[in-house]
Structure 1
């Protein structure tokens, strides 16, 4: 197995790790229900599935 010939500096290590962080998901407010939900994702509200402000599935039918 290959091993590095020299030790990598902490500055170089930090540069490599700049993109290794958890991202906070973007939240949106549904125009139909007024609830926060994850952007570009369908969400349930009172037995109905909403996407882009429209009812996709109504479980009460």
Structure 2
């Protein structure tokens, strides 16, 4: 089993572990639909770049 020759200092250890963090998703408010959307994704109402992409079915499948 590999054993370190020297003990890792607190500073080196904290610098290495300091890069492990979560990033907030890039969310923007779409004024056309009035809802928040992830960048480069279709909005929940089915609009992308101001154009309807997905049409929702109003039919009941049952």
User: What are structure 2's unaligned runs of at least 5 residues?
Assistant: none
User: What are structure 1's unaligned runs of at least 5 residues?
Assistant: none
TM-score between both structures, scaled by the size of structure 1: 0.72
- Residue in structure 2 matched with residue 52 of structure 1 by the alignment: 49
Relative to total residues, which structure has the larger strand share, 1 or 2? 1
Deviation at 1:7, TM superposition (A): 1.4
RMSD: 1.8
Residue by residue over 1:1-60, the C-alpha shift from the partner in whole angstroms, topping out at 9 and shown as x without a partner, is 422111111111111122200001121112321111222222212xxx122232111123
TM-score between both structures, scaled by the size of structure 2: 0.72
Whichever of the two has the greater Rg, that structure is: 2
